[in-house]
Amino acid sequence: MANDASAVSDAISRNLGALTDPFTPPADSTLWRKNFLLGAATASYQIEGAVDEDGRLPSIWDTFSATPGKVLAGDTGAVACDHYHRWEADVEMLASLGLEGYRLSIAWPRVMDAAGLPNRKGLDFYKRLLNRLKEKGITTSVTVYHWDLPQHLEDRGGWLNRDTAYRFADYADLMSRELAGTVDAWATLNEPWCSAYLGYGNGHHAPGLADGRFATQAMHHLLLAHGLAMPVLRANDPTSQKGIVANIGRGTANSDSAADQRAAHLFEVQHNAWILDPLLKGAYPQDLFELWPGTEPLVLDGDMQTISAPLDFLGINYYFRTNVASDGAHGFRDVQLEGVERTQMGWEVYPDGLRDLLTGFKRTYHNLPPIYITENGMASDDKVIDGHVDDTQRISFLKRHLAAVDQAIKAGVDIRGYFLWSLMDNFEWAFGYERRFGVVHIDYSTQKRTVKRSAELVAKFLKERKARV
C-alpha cells in the first residue's frame, strides 16, 4: 500500500500547478482565516469493508443490505472501499491534499463483543488510524455512532428498547477511555433523524421498520443515548470537544396560502426542531404531534435534562431543500419544482437554504453552540476519462455552499469549519454504489483511487491559504 500512497501524492503534486481555478473564494471571504477548519468526512460502514474480519460482529446494515430488494442492485458494504486494509494509503492521500481535518466513525460491531467486552483487534485498527492522522497533523473528529448498530442489540429491540441507550453509554465509555488523546472532537450520533425516521418510521434504512410511533420512540432513545454519553466522554477525554451531528432540511412553501405556509413550517419542525428543540430547549416541539398525532414517546423523569446538557459544538449536515404544499389534512406533501438544478440523487441544489437555516437557528436558539458543517456535498455520475475526473457540477456546488457559509458567518453565526462529504465514493446506503459523493473516485473492481478535480482545487486553495499565513 505504500507504493499506492506515493503514487497518489506524486499525482496530486503534479496536477496542482496546472489547474485553472473556478473554486477559490473571493478575497473578502471569511474562509481565508487560518482557524477555519476545512476537511473531509467518511463513515465506517460506507468505506471499511472487512465485515467478517478480526472479530467484527454483524450490524443492522449487514442484515438489511443482504435482504433482497432493500438496497439498489443488491449491493452491500462487505467490501466497500476496502479502507480497513488500505487505510495507510488513504491517510496519505488525505494529507497530500492538504485537508486539515478528517471526520470518521467507529463501527460499534468492530470494537465490542456481544457481552460488551472490548475486541482488541478492532480497537487496534482505530488506534493505528487515529495515531497516523495525528502524526500527519490532521484534526480528528470521531463519530461514535453512524448507523451501524450491532445486530444482536437490534434483536433485543434496537432503538425501540430503552436499554440500548445505556449500552451506547457503555460503548462511548470504552471508546473514550481507549482513544483518549487521539480525538480532537467527539460526536455522539450522526443524523438521529435518519436513524429514527428512515430506520423505524418509513423503513427506507436499516432495520427497515415503518411506524410513526416507532420513529418518535426511537428518536427519544437515540437522544437519551447522546445525553448519557456526554458526561462519560467529558470524564474520559476532558481536552476534546463534545457534540452531536444533525441533518437539517430547508422547507419552502409552494404558494403564499396559509395552508402551504403552515406545511413548510411543519416540514422544518419534523426535520429540524424534532432534534434541535430537545437538545437546546429541553422539550419536543408540540407541533410535531400535530403532524403525527398519537405518536408521543414515553419520556421518563429526568430524560429531557439529560438530553439537553450543554454542547461544545453542533455538527450540521445539509444537502437540499424540499418544496412542499399542504396535504389537506395535518401535514405536507412534496411538490417538485421544474427547471431547477438537481444532483444525481434528484436533490435540488439550493445553497441559500443552508444560509437561511443557520441564521434562523441563531435567532431561535439563544444557546446555539459553535457550529461545524460536518457534511455537505453532492452525488454525480462521475467517470474517469484519460486518468482524470472533471466533476464540474461538484466544484460549482461546493463553491456556492461555501459562499453560503461565509454569508452566515458574516451574519453572526459562529461557524468554525466545514467537512466535504465525502472523501471518497462509497456505499451510499439504500442506493448502493451507483451514487458517487466523493471528491476521490473509487473503481470498485480494482479499488483504484483517482483524485477528482474538485479535490485538487480544494487542495490548491488550502495551499494558497497556508502561504498567506
- The C-alpha atoms of residue 61 and residue 66 are separated, in whole angstroms, by 8
Helix 83-96 with 120-135: angle, nearest 10 deg? 10
Question: % helix / strand / coil in the chain, to the nearest 5?
Answer: 45, 15, 40
Cis peptide before 141 (omega within 30 of 0): no
Contact 212, 198 (CB under 8 A): no
Grid cell in block for residue 421: 462529504
Three-state secondary structure call for residue 260: helix
Three-state secondary structure call for residue 221: helix
Beta strands, E only, 306-383: 313-326, 332-334, 371-376
- The C-alpha atoms of residue 176 and residue 182 are separated, in whole angstroms, by 10
Assess whether 375 carries a catalytic annotation: yes
Grid cell in block for residue 195: 436513524
End-to-end CA distance of the chain, in Å? 34
The DSSP element (H or E) to which 124 belongs, if any, is: helix 120-135
Any idea of the CA torsion for 459, 462, 468, 469, to the nearest 10 degrees?
-130
Catalytic one of 375, 428, 434, 456: 375
- How far does CA 8 lie from the centroid of its chain? 26
Supply the residues annotated as catalytic.
Answer: 375
